[in-house]
Amino acid sequence: MRLIRSCTGGVLLLALAAGAAAAEAPLFNVVNFETTVAQSVENDQALATLFVESSDTDPGKLAERINKTLAQALERVKTVSQVQSRGTGYSTYPLYNNKTGKQEGWRSRGELRIASSDFAALSRLVGELQKPQATGLSLQLDSVTYGVSDEVRRKTEDILIEEGLRQFRQRAALMQRSLQGKDWKLLNVNVNTGGMAPPMPVRAMYKAAAMAAEAAPPPMESGESRMTVQVSGAIQVE
């Protein structure tokens, strides 16, 4: 401890922080490890992607035709309460003559994404949307992707977090016994809930006859997603 007198006659007391020095002391018997728990969950959400394509020499007319087809499809989606729109997309690119290399037109593609937890309603709507629209164009099914809803994901994660922490404590006790310690102290812990196998899209197969006639509703089999939670951290065996 030091006493330093100021020029004004006051006394300023400066104390060395013993705690800070102790905090910098090296730790011994520190063990880092992790545990991973997993559970398969039945998918309760389906996302269908439909598209419409067309060509024209006039890009303005082409865009109008594609957008009008998507707008008509969206109006139909709004009438089915069990199905929600997840947005649309649009892309266009030039067409070239294979022999001359000169541009001879434009090709555009519009996409519509719809989702539902009612697989039967979604399947029926997908079948209806593949009928020719008033514009003369038809939407085609590109893919169906299955996944887990936010509500089911949260509930499953809560269960996995609890189990992951239980296994972490159990393994910490094992480390303590194996190192012949009397007790253990938690230094830090991390919980990662980002582990989930990405949903695999089911690509649609097409036949010319099916595209020309009324398309039958596609069969929908949800399958399962595998969710994981990882608990990692460090303990000090005492």
Q: Give the residue from 60, 44, 68 showing the smallest Cα distance to 118.
A: 44
Pair 112, 51: CB distance under 8 Å: yes
CATH code: domain 45-148+200-223 is 3.30.70.360
Q: What is the pLDDT of residues 163-174, one digit of tens each?
A: 999 999 999 999
Please, which pLDDT band fits residue 132 given cuts at 50, 70 and 90?
confident
Q: How far apart are the C-alpha atoms of 125 and 134, rounded to whole Å?
A: 17
pLDDT tops 70 at residue 13: no
Q: Which residues contact 113 (CB under 8 A, 6 or more apart)?
A: 47, 48, 49, 50, 85, 86, 87, 88, 89
Instruction: Please state, rounded to an integer, the average pLDDT across all residues of the chain.
Output: 84
Quote the longest CA-to-CA distance of the chain: 101
